[in-house]
Amino acid sequence: MNPRRIFAVFARQWFLLKSNPTRLTSILVWIFIDIIQWGFISKYLGTFGKANFSFITVILGAIILLGFMGRIQQGLMMAFLEDVWSQNFINFFASPLAIREYLAGLALSSMVTSLFGFTAMTVVAGAAFGYNVFKIGILLLPFMFILIVFGVAVGIFVSGVIFRFGTSAEWLAWPIPMVLSIFSGAYYPLSTLPDGLRIIALLLPPAYVFESLRGILSVGGYTPEIGHNMAAGTALAFAYLFAMYLLFQKIYRDNLESGGMVKFNAEGI
């Protein structure tokens, strides 16, 4: 892959963001709503039955990490849609740019904006509720890495669906983070799920992240299962990333052969 071409795709997204700062404003608004709403819900739950368990510690940690993954996915999808909406998509592939370089550039731009969102969520959670996500320790880094890889994989999948069926398929992307939250065990242990749903959950990398996170916070330290969870989550995340890349490549080739690329030109949008 050519780093200069990857950076060119990233730079285009950066200039779009720089020319329209309201894009970042929309991210900040949802961050503020999520943290404040769930922070107060957590405080309220903590008042029941003289609870000695910190709901804020678990729920806000899950909200921050789940939101981080969701913004990776949606950031990549939105960067892809920007190219479609601006009638610039075909121009990319009239150049020597390879699919893997294009996707890497979109992934890079989504990671940068998501890290900005993660920082903002951390600041708001700390200022409003005294929550420090870094109390998780050094394992926060592999947790975030797994969520980044899987978030990119989901973003490529959604972009591929839009690439195949057109922009009318965009609505499929928005509920994906909420659907994944059901199976990821972000707010409850996987043992809470029925057997059938638990099998699905064990096929998703975020489930291993949040099970590990809950274990660390409940015992106040590392648990023996963390090594297995990190290995399983990492392997699954890369497997999904590779599979989604192959899927996007196939959709691209099919569109070339069938003439489906025409619907992304100036007249077809």
Taken in order 61, 64, 67, 69, the sign of the CA dihedral is negative
Provide the domain limits for residue 176.
3-264
The more confident residue out of 53 and 215 is 215
In degrees, to the nearest 5, what angle opens at C-alpha 30 toward C-alphas 25 and 34? 150
Would 227 be classed as within a structural domain? yes
Does the residue 135 lie in any domain? yes
- What are the DSSP calls for 120-145, one per residue? HHHHHHHHHH---GGGG-TTHHHHHH
Q: What is the DSSP string of 7-27?
A: HHHHHHHHHHHHH-THHHHHH
Residue 45 vs residue 32, higher pLDDT: 32
Question: How many Cα atoms are found within 13 Å in the side-chain-facing hemisphere of 172?
Answer: 15
Report field, pTM of the whole predicted structure over 0.75? yes
Q: Is residue 44 part of a domain?
A: yes
H or E element, residue 106 = helix 99-129
Q: Mind listing the pLDDT tens digit for each residue in 100-130? A: 888 998 899 888 888 888 888 888 888 877 8
132-143 pLDDT, tens digit each: 877 777 878 888
149-158 tens-digit pLDDT = 999 999 999 9
pLDDT in tens, 194-204: 888 889 989 99
| pLDDT of the residue at 268 | 45
Q: What is the mean pLDDT of residues 29-58?
A: 72
Rg of the chain taking only CA atoms, in angstroms: 20
**CA dist., res. 25 & res. 86, Å (int):** 21
pLDDT of residue 247: 93
Domain assignment present for 76: yes
Quick check: is 186 in a domain? Answer: yes
Q: Is the pLDDT of residue 186 over 60?
A: yes
- Residue 103 lies inside a defined structural domain of this protein: yes
For the chain, the average pLDDT equals 81
What are 67's two structure tokens? 């939101």
Output the six-digit token pair for 21: 């700062």
Residue 269: per-residue pLDDT: 45
Q: How many domains does the chain have?
A: 1
Percentage above 90 pLDDT, the chain: 13
pLDDT tens digits for range 40-50:
887 777 676 55
Distance of CA 251 to the CA centre of its chain: 22
For helices 55-85 and 99-129, the axis angle rounded to 10 degrees is 140
pLDDT tens digits, residue range 233-268?
Answer: 999 999 999 999 999 999 888 877 777 666 666 544
Whose CA is closest to 263, among 147, 122, 168, 189?
168
**Is 269 a domain residue?**
no
Residue 218 in domain: yes
